[in-house]
Amino acid sequence: MNKDLISVIVPVYKVEQYLNKCIESIVSQTYQNMEIILVDD
């Protein structure tokens, strides 16, 4: 089965205290074919 690539875009301006938990949450999802793009907006 071909799984499509999902892009998760996360704005990270002034959210240092939440960033680690946010990334852990994304990575722990059952769907694994994804890329995480962090944008310092």
For the cut 80, the answer to whether the pLDDT of residue 2 exceeds it is no
- Sorted by sequence, the CB contacts under 8 Å of residue 17 that are 6+ apart come out as none
What is the C-alpha radius of gyration for the chain, rounded to an integer number of angstroms? 12
- What is the mean predicted confidence (pLDDT) over 10-33? 96
Q: What stretch of H or E contains 36?
A: strand 34-39
For the cut 70, the answer to whether the pLDDT of residue 13 exceeds it is yes
Does pTM surpass 0.75?
A: yes
